[in-house]
Structure 1
Amino acid sequence: MSVRTGTGRHHCLTALCLTAALGGSAAWAEDWTIDGRTLTVEQVAGIARDDGARIVLTQGADTQIAQGFALVMEAALQGKAVYGLTVGVGWNKDRPVFAIKDGKRVLDDELLQLSRAFNLTSLRAHGAGVGEPMPVEAVRAGMAIRLNQIATGRTGVQPAVAEMYRQFLERGITPVVPSRGSVGEADITLASHIGLAMIGEGEVFVNGDRMAARQALSDAGIAPLEPVGKDFLSILSTNALTAGHAALLAHDVDAYLDKEAIVFALALEGFNGNVAPFLSETNDIRPFPENLAGARAIRDALQGSYLWSPSDERALQDPLSFRTMAYVLGGARVATQDLVKVLEIQINHSDDNPGVVVGAVDEKTSAQVSAYFIEGEVAGAIYPTAGFEMLPVATSVEALNAALVRLSQAITMQTIRFENPEMTHLPRFLAAETNHGHAFGAIQKPLVALLAENRQIGAQAPAGSVAMAGNIEDLDSHAPLSVANLGRILDNLYWMSSIQLLHAAQAVDLRKRPALGRATKNLLDDYRRHVPFVDKDRIYSEDFAAGRRILMER
């Protein structure tokens, strides 16, 4: 798959916008192939941020989609209960669901009309999100995931639904989807807005402009979707939007950790710290994946650094916030990798209820199970499932949130240690000789405030549930809240790393800039092009913003 680079256009109205600012970090392909099996988190980020995305469904995916829809229709013909087709639409149960045309049984036209009407009503009734719109890229990520899940053939939708997702992604038509209102047992009140846009209702974003969906479809020459059967249920009863947001954040946390490893390495050089805790020899003594991963990243950033040469002023043992950074940084990396693994199961499999399985074979284990099977030209089974449950993703996100809170603690304590001349052998508060004012004496406060925020956010793993829907839906994952918390923590971490970078750069320059690692020197040179050495007191808010921008754009 060939790669091109560039910067996509992002429409961003809410605090969810951090990922949009990181859009340049994903590799972009000339064609994005959807097969229902091999979509990665990196590819989700790429499609979401590629306004010129060209989407290709494999022939196998097209076949699987068609067969899944055919199985749903065959189930209806055989009198099986299919919600939205033979159940719930107002059809007289004593009346046959089929008619004979050209010697073949086909679904009654009146039944299909009732089903289409029920589909439209159901999409409208579930359009119940609140809050500002989700960022365009988050909605695009969700649509890419849902298209890939549909490509498994296990959602039972008509091929026109898949084509509509593909057209929306390629044409840059992004439904306006509220950012809040899902409890994490399928984003039904949010994803419904995607279906509404497909039928020409609601609003969409096109090239940054907000307009009526009907107008956008007309301008693009796209006929509104006519959902039937299980279409509406598959469009709205999915966690694809939450999974898409989580995929973007997992991708962006991974990129942030690469940057923070270099910021920490520069801070270690500013502190004249001891590299012993990061040696392969010391970490092999107790080879947890966390410390091995973290130590390797720090060593790589310090290649060529003066820290590999002895120093009479260097402590044998630094404060724990420095010494244990391999575990803290590596722990966040491992938690990110764990989330990616879980997400790549989620995004490559249907989360539908019911689940449509073409080719399933009835082993005749029980009459209860046999009732789910359909025999015919296209055979298989339609099972009631709990595929909408998001606990595997929610718990992985919450584990990552906890790991990033620990990282926030480490960054805060490392940075505050620079105030102490007994540890650094540098001036108090890193004051230059020409600075007779406060120097860095007051700027610990925003760092501590951000740490307090992250601690509070990280402690908000939701556990309580309220019974809804006639006491049937009585357990919630609240995965969207956990994912939103991850975005807030990551946003705060970029600010914290910027404050850490200001201290690290000042300390290194106060040491007359000794030989630095290749990666840390590159970072410092880039930083100093925008943020000069602090020779006297000034407004630091501008430095924080500049440092954050530099880190996010790297």
Structure 2
Amino acid sequence: MKPVTITDLPMTQDELVAVAHGTPLVLGESAKARIAASRALLNEAMSSGDAIYGLSTRVGHGKDTRVPREELEQMQQFLVATHGGAFGPLLDRTVVRAAMAVRVCGIARGGSGASPDAAGTLLAMLNAGVHPVVHSRGSVGAADISPMAGIAQVAVGTGTAEFQGEVLPGAEALHRAGIQPLRLQGRDGLALISANGVSIGHGALVLARAARTALAADQAVVLSIEAIRGNPSGFSAPAAAAKPYPGQVAAAAHLHELLEGSQLLTRDGPRSLQDALSFRVVPQVHGAFREFLTTAGRAVHTELNSASDNPLIDVESSSVLSTGNFHPIVLAIAFDALRVALVHVGQLSERRMSHLWNAIMAARKSGPPPGNRGPDAAPGMQLRYAGSACYTELRLLAAPATLDSTVLDVGVEDHATGAMLSVRTTEQALGLLEDLLAIEVLLAADLSRVSPQGTPGAGASAVLGLTAEAATGAKSAADVHRNLRERFPGN
């Protein structure tokens, strides 16, 4: 497997996602040089006797208290040992790997002053498969200090890690992998924990999933509009060009592509002149989802490739600067906004279900019910009420995660972004949206069986094939839904 190399070029989200899923990560020579230069400048500043936050001073409200030189290493160890107070469900291994890769990338930008050994230990852990066991609740979004401390604890030979399928004390996991525990030097401890590795890394993974869900939402719409013989004129290129948001243009193009070969694209194909808004405004709403995917993606890319440390070791100006770059507010707000756009996609899906339901009821008045009367019969109809409940739960997740920060540490830390919560909530919302879309697909498939509407396009035919596969061997509507979710939307 070809490794991802950190160079002078920005690391891409695709590269980060690849590392999260197991691709090795290495440092190029230019990245090693930046780390060394940053470290040299920090040592020079330290020798001058100047106060340096988190190195020659304490942290937080202790920022004006000097630390004796003989206690510097002990303080770094203390920071790592005492800031790991996260709890709750464990982060997925891919998220932990992404967080580790983000921190290596940040150190490689040359602003942290961390030692080469600090980056090297994280790299060795990543490439050997030593994965810290990290809890998910502990960050207020002003650096993911507690979860990142959980990673740092393993690096220094404490904490808990998973290695080759076994959960072990951190020291034992490092020993089995042939990795020496990191001896913290300078400000290594603070550099390892005061970073937004989880928010950024998890954000990249969530965006990759959201991009697939955006495509799947279009597939669900196409099957539904085919089932009711709706009017796809609003999906046309001229309609998109008349209001050229890039996201709307992309959504309309994908919808039109999925309809290729459909009877609906013929002159006499559509049954109606104009459909309900839940069909007609799909390019606009799905386009908005894509627009905020782009916004969130830009925020993740910027955070990933920034020097977000405090203090910032700026080699070009030979200065050590106090900054607030650890505050990922753009990323946090972007995921809040993305979640609102996502919920609108779910709202259209739930509204379309009502039209599908009404069409099924009308069709069944004039014909016999489907032949299969078992517990797996007409799974979409069985799950219609569950779909409504799913949307209600989804809508609750639209509330912002960025506005409820508390005041911490004797009033010094009086603002936070909620970034990690915003990203995690967006992932939860994506799961609910995918559940909802699967139910819409099953309901549209039910209608297609009760009342066939002519030749479907390539997109609808493909999705109908997935529903048939999902029904094979199923014993209940829940089984069909679960089987479909494994195939759709491509997770």
Q: How far apart, CA to CA, are the structure 2 residues paired with 1:123 and 1:248?
A: 26
Normalized against structure 2, the TM-score is what?
Answer: 0.93
Q: Are residue 318 (structure 1) and residue 290 (structure 2) matched?
A: no
Q: 1:436: how far off?
A: 7.7
Distance 1:189-1:320 versus aligned 2 partners, 3 A rule? same
Letter in 1 for 2:469: R
SS of the residue aligned with 2:320? Answer: strand
Within the candidate set 448, 451, 454, 2:394 is matched to: 454
1:298 counterpart residue number: 255
Q: Which runs of 5+ in 1 are unaligned?
A: 1-28, 98-110, 361-379
Q: Are residue 72 (structure 1) and residue 42 (structure 2) matched?
A: yes
Is the Cα contact below 8 Å between 1:35 and 1:152 reproduced in 2?
no
SS of the residue aligned with 1:211? Answer: strand
Paired residue total? 484
Q: Residue by residue, what CA displacement relative to the aligned partner does 1:277-299 show, whole Å, maximum 9, x if unpaired?
A: 10011222222333212111101
Distance 1:507-1:532 versus aligned 2 partners, 3 A rule? farther
Stretch of structure 1 that moved more, 205-214 or 516-525: 516-525
SS of the residue aligned with 1:491? Answer: helix
Q: 1:429: how far off?
A: 12
Q: Are residue 503 (structure 1) and residue 443 (structure 2) matched?
A: yes
Q: How far apart, CA to CA, are the structure 2 residues paired with 1:505 and 1:298?
A: 18
Q: Are residue 391 (structure 1) and residue 391 (structure 2) matched?
A: no
Q: 1:66: how far off?
A: 0.5
Distance 1:125-1:310 versus aligned 2 partners, 3 A rule? same
- Bigger Rg, which one: 1
Letter in 2 for 1:78: S
1:484 counterpart residue number: 424
2:18 counterpart residue number: 46
Is the Cα contact below 8 Å between 1:84 and 1:229 reproduced in 2?
no
SS of the residue aligned with 1:137? Answer: helix
Q: How far apart, CA to CA, are the structure 2 residues paired with 1:275 and 1:250?
A: 28
Stretch of structure 1 that moved more, 425-434 or 449-458: 425-434
Residues 322-471 of structure 1 correspond to what in structure 2 (within 5 A)?
Answer: 322-360=279-317, 380-421=318-359, 426-427=363-364, 432-434=369-371, 441-471=381-411
- Indicate the percent of aligned positions where both proteins have the same amino acid: 27
Residues 57-456 of structure 1 correspond to what in structure 2 (within 5 A)?
Answer: 57-88=27-58, 111=69, 114-311=71-268, 314-360=271-317, 380-421=318-359, 426-427=363-364, 432-434=369-371, 441-456=381-396
Is the Cα contact below 8 Å between 2:125 and 2:179 reproduced in 1?
no
Stretch of structure 1 that moved more, 538-547 or 426-435: 426-435
Letter in 2 for 1:549: E
Higher helix proportion (structure 1 or 2): 2
Q: Residue by residue, what CA displacement relative to the aligned partner does 1:77-113 show, whole Å, maximum 9, x if unpaired?
A: 11111234433499xx999x9xxxxxxxxxxxxx3x5
Distance 1:94-1:460 versus aligned 2 partners, 3 A rule? closer
Q: How far apart, CA to CA, are the structure 2 residues paired with 1:331 and 1:87?
A: 47
Q: 1:243: how far off?
A: 1.1
Q: 1:513: how far off?
A: 6.8
Q: Residue by residue, what CA displacement relative to the aligned partner does 1:163-200 show, whole Å, maximum 9, x if unpaired?
A: 01111110111111111011000111111111110110
Normalized against structure 1, the TM-score is what?
Answer: 0.82
> Which runs of at least 4 in structure 1 moved beyond 6 Å after TM superposition?
428-431, 435-438
Is the Cα contact below 8 Å between 1:254 and 1:336 reproduced in 2?
yes
Is the Cα contact below 8 Å between 2:235 and 2:255 reproduced in 1?
yes
Q: How far apart, CA to CA, are the structure 1 residues paired with 2:220 and 2:472?
A: 17
SS of the residue aligned with 2:470? Answer: coil
Letter in 1 for 2:13: V
Q: Residue by residue, what CA displacement relative to the aligned partner does 1:29-81 show, whole Å, maximum 9, x if unpaired?
A: 6111112641112211111012xx22221110000001101111000111111
Q: 1:441: how far off?
A: 5.0
Distance 1:221-1:262 versus aligned 2 partners, 3 A rule? same
Stretch of structure 1 that moved more, 287-296 or 465-474: 287-296
Is the Cα contact below 8 Å between 2:259 and 2:459 reproduced in 1?
yes
Q: Which runs of 5+ in 2 are unaligned?
A: none
Q: How far apart, CA to CA, are the structure 1 residues paired with 2:107 and 2:365?
A: 61
Stretch of structure 1 that moved more, 68-77 or 510-519: 510-519
Q: How far apart, CA to CA, are the structure 1 residues paired with 2:439 and 2:188?
A: 50
